[in-house]
Amino acid sequence: MSDKLIIFDTTLRDGEQSPGASMTKDEKIRIARQLERLKVDVIEAGFASSSNGDFETIHAISGIIKDATVCSLARANDRDISRAAEALKPAASSRLHIFLATSPLHMEKKLRMTPDEVYEQARRSIRFARNLTDNIEFSPEDGYRSDMDFLCKVLEAVIAEGATTINFPDTVGCGVPELYGHAIKTLRERIPNSDKAIWSVHCHNDLGMAVANSLAGVKIGGARQVECTINGLGERAGNTSLEEIVMAVKTRKDYFGLEVGIDTAQIVPSSRLVSQITGFLVQPNKAVVGANAFAHASGIHQDGVLKARDTYEIMRAEDVGWANNKIVLGKLSGRNAFKQRLQELGITLESEAEINAAFSRFKELADQKAEIFDEDIIAIVGNEPAEHDAEEFRFVSLAQNSATGERPHARVVFSMGGKEVTGEADGNGPVDATLNAIESKVVSGAEQLLYSVNAITTGTQAQGEVTVRLSKAGRIVNGVGTDPDIVAASAKAYLAALNKLDDKSFKLNPQAI
């Protein structure tokens, strides 16, 4: 077996299935570029047949990414497979990822097909795909709950037809590490042509064991590909966490004996970017990328680390991208210094217009707070619309007043369809009044599912990052806004969410289909 572990990132496909995590085309392209900097082996860019937006995004990413294989998911039918292949045409390296459910429950209740029908459809789909590409992955959906004899029969057939990667999904996250690992081992031992394919793991985190199951699949089962997402993003309880898999394999190379090609210094920047774009915050005690991952509060621990770092740290913070660097630039700071810091942070802006817009926002922020941290710059760039974006709603200004014993009132000026409008309303608090003022003019009828606030840096001068999640007509979207004024950040976040609701290219939330 190879000693290289392939990292297959599905943040843009499976990760996006988290309610509210839907991303725009430009946001997905930004994440894909960062995944390329991270040096993942395979980027699953989307599900081409799920929407025109996904098709266009996969096509765009395929034309941009040069150092990773770009992949599209497809159901086991000719239309889906053809659509995925068309979307992947510009890619320097591409893969078709075909799936078909094989568990008794899924075949009977979801597919309404007999095992024989599923077997034949699996064979036909790979045979058809083989005419379009020689890089084909097959996933028996709900494979872990499938009958072993039937699964062996199906997987032997698809390998014979030309599947080059076999994925073994724990679709509902019910696996237990030892049992999951031995299930893959059994499949590889029983299927005569199993050595003709690379074996892969895809685990969900419903019982909190996605990473453990994936590592068991690698160590016990001999899998050489792990499907994972940044921050473990994904529907329900999420997917296998890329950063945890990579650092487990690298830190415990004595046990796993495997190599990974990931540039680990890009892990934290990748985590921050995905969190900022999706609005899904990283818990402070999250392994590797949480704010407390390398923090020591105990006096005994602090003393030990000061004497010898490895007394309490098994990884170096800087190796995964943590840094204490801060940029202290003010009104008189130049554009070149700003550009230099963008490069150091791994941020790529495509045009001079985008750089100028980001620098302008940087100068505005420098007027409001004394020190600008790296996190501030990431937020500045992340919240700057692409040059060609035509936003229906855009924040202009805000005035609000509140006093103890009086009902807060807000007056918000924003553009709607290219024209400035002014909304006024009362509310239970300044934020409620502000959002009510916007809604008084927009009349979106959207349901608010989430409102959360996060301080980007420390101190009372910190920018506030607000996430607003809205739902309407089967779409669930997040809007993120940043500003030193938390009420203004709330208005920006609400308007950003409304822009996504207004974007008809957004696919329906998978749970609503």
Could you read off the pLDDT of 124-144 as tens digits, one per residue? 999 999 999 999 999 999 999
**Strand order across the 393-401 sheet:** 393-401, 409-416, 419-426
The residue-averaged pLDDT of 279-301 equals: 79
What's the pLDDT score for residue 512? 45
Return the pLDDT at 360.
84
Identify the helix (H) or strand (E) that includes residue 168: strand 165-170
- Please give the residue that has the higher pLDDT: either 293 or 80: 80
pLDDT tens digits for 73-125?
999 999 999 999 999 999 999 999 999 999 999 999 999 999 999 999 999 99
Q: How, if at all, do strands 409-416 and 393-401 pair? A: antiparallel
From residue 139, how far is each of 97, 113, 317, 426 by CA, in Å? Answer: 7, 17, 36, 53
Spatial neighbors of 121 by CB under 8 A, at least 6 apart, are: 76, 77, 100, 113
Q: Is the pLDDT of residue 264 over 90?
A: yes
Identify the pLDDT of residue 24: 86
C-alpha angle 261-266-269 in degrees, rounded to nearest 5:
155
Closest CA to 413 of 403, 400, 426, 422: 422
| Integer Cα distance of 425 and 423 in angstroms | 7
Q: Inform me whether the pLDDT recorded for 374 exceeds 80.
A: no
343 CB contacts (<8 Å, ≥6 apart)? Answer: none
Number of Cβ within 10 Å of residue 436's Cβ equals: 19
Bigger pLDDT: 309 or 103? Answer: 103
301 pLDDT higher than 70: no
In DSSP notation, 446-487 reads PEEEEEEEEESSSSTTPPEEEEEEEEETTEEEEEEEEESSHH
pLDDT at residue 18 in the model: 85
pLDDT at site 317: 81
Could you tell me the pLDDT band of residue 184, with boundaries at 50, 70 and 90? very high
Mean pLDDT of the chain: 89
pLDDT score of 388: 43
Virtual torsion, Cα 203, 274, 444, 503, nearest 10 deg? -90
Q: What pLDDT, in 10s, does the model give residues 317-369?
A: 888 887 655 555 655 567 777 887 777 666 777 778 888 888 888 888 877 77
Distance CA 181, CA 215 (A): 8
Q: Output 364 or 297, whichever has higher pLDDT.
A: 364
What burial class does residue 450 get, using C-beta atoms within 10 Å of its C-beta: 0-12 exposed, 13-18 middle, 19+ buried?
middle
162 Rama sector, left if φ>0, alpha if ψ -120 to 50, beta otherwise: left
In this structure, what token pair is assigned to residue 87?
Answer: 């979307």
Tell me if 8 sits within 8 A of 35, measured CB to CB: no
Q: Is 144 helix (H, G, I), strand (E, B) or coil?
A: helix
pTM reported for the whole predicted model: 0.85
Query: Mean per-residue pLDDT for 429-443?
Result: 96
Residue 460, pLDDT score: 75
Q: For residues 6 and 198, is the Cβ–Cβ distance under 8 A? A: yes
How many other CB atoms are there within 10 angstroms of residue 57's CB atom? 25
State residue 183 phi and psi, 5-degree precision.
-65, -45
- Work out the average pLDDT over 234-255: 96
Q: Comparing C-alpha atoms, which of 361, 407, 367 is closest to residue 382?
A: 361
